Amino acid sequence: MSDLARFSVNQMTVKQLPLPDLVAACRDLGVPGVGLWREPVQEYGVEAAAKLVRDAGLTVTTLCRGGFLTATDPAGRARALDDNRRAVGEAATLGTDVLVLVSGGLPAGSRDLPGARERVADALAELGPYAEAHGVKLAVEPLHPMFAADRCVVSTLAQALDLAERFPARQVGVTVDTYHVWWDEDAPAQIARAGAGGRIHTFQLADWVTPLPAGVLNGRGQLGDGSVDLRRWRELVEAAGYTGPIEVELFNDALWARDGREVLAETVERFTRHAV
């Protein structure tokens, strides 16, 4: 098996590449998988995007992302559920069985993290069966605790699994992303728990580099540039039974400012050096 057999590039890593250019670059570099994002796929057209990647022989490893399920007002809540049902449909059209979910942050003025997490659980109860009916699994992604207020009230794998385990694994599992969990000494045990339950629905890589940029969203480091022992995390998910795609997802202003093909080639090389 080639070193790249399980490699997937998340579309955001090289968001400067239009979708056809990304597909061509993957073909040229021997990249077999892509994780797609809803907004650029919608711009291109979901059916057209599905045909483009299918014709190129690419596997769509995930669709990012659904979620944002913490609204308290009925209208906001209904809109979020509708949008997530659309995301499930898009995932099915694209031929991936994994929809990554980012829970959402605290509603404006709220300080109630447990309440927000409970609303995520309520939403999963509605979305899980819908996703299953469309052949899609929901992958709840814990984000780093620095996002707890404004983006994701689920901060650890333990919390994500506490949510997921209320539902069948074929409906709800988790995303393991090194950037979000690397600091957590409980994460290895939670990976084992997730693997035992068949709930590792996707595994994503990014490195942790400092100083963090303002807003902290676009500071995900190129593999090998930071503090994360990427190979160790890969070994942990594999020891837990995960044999699926390994998706590299970087949000990084410096990488976005460069030539996208060059960044993808670099990412492939870094993956081979630091994660295989």
Contact flag: residue 73 with its own copies (CB under 8 A)? no
Contact flag: residue 243 with its own copies (CB under 8 A)? no
Q: How far is the CB of 50 from its own copies (least distance, A)?
A: 35
Contact flag: residue 111 with its own copies (CB under 8 A)? yes
Q: How far is the CB of 275 from its own copies (least distance, A)?
A: 13
Angle between helices 230-239 and 187-196 (to 10 degrees): 30
Which residues between 134 and 153 bind its own copies (CB under 8 A)? 144-146, 148-150
| Contact in structure between 271 and 248 (CB atoms under 8 Å) | yes
The residue whose two tokens read 């995900």 is 220
CB-nearer residue toward its own copies: 53 or 250: 250
Question: Given the rule CB under 8 A, which of 18-26, 31-39, 119-127, 181-189 is the region that contacts its own copies?
Answer: 181-189
Q: How far is the CB of 117 from its own copies (least distance, A)?
A: 8
**Buried-state track 251-271, b at ≥16 Cβ within 10 A, e below 16:** bbeebbeeebbebbebbbebb
Q: How far is the CB of 35 from its own copies (least distance, A)?
A: 25
Contact flag: residue 159 with its own copies (CB under 8 A)? yes
Contact flag: residue 191 with its own copies (CB under 8 A)? no
Q: How far is the CB of 153 from its own copies (least distance, A)?
A: 9
The Cα angle at residue 139 between residues 91 and 163, in degrees rounded to 5: 140
Which residues between 14 and 43 bind its own copies (CB under 8 A)? none
Q: How far is the CB of 270 from its own copies (least distance, A)?
A: 15
Question: Given the rule CB under 8 A, which of 13-21, 79-87, 103-111, 190-198 is the region that contacts its own copies?
Answer: 103-111
| CA R_g for the chain | 17
Please name the residues in contact with 117: beta carbons below 8 A apart, sequence gap of 6 or more: 103, 153, 154, 159, 163
Report d(CA 67, CA 154) in Å as an integer.
Answer: 11
| Contact in structure between 6 and 205 (CB atoms under 8 Å) | no
Report d(CA 83, CA 93) in Å as an integer.
Answer: 15
Closest CA to 35 of 55, 67, 11: 11
How big is the site for its own copies, counted in residues (CB under 8 A)?
A: 30
Report d(CA 9, CA 73) in Å as an integer.
Answer: 36
Q: State the residues that interact with its own copies by CB under 8 A.
A: 106, 110-114, 144-146, 148-150, 155, 159, 182-185, 208, 210-216, 226-229
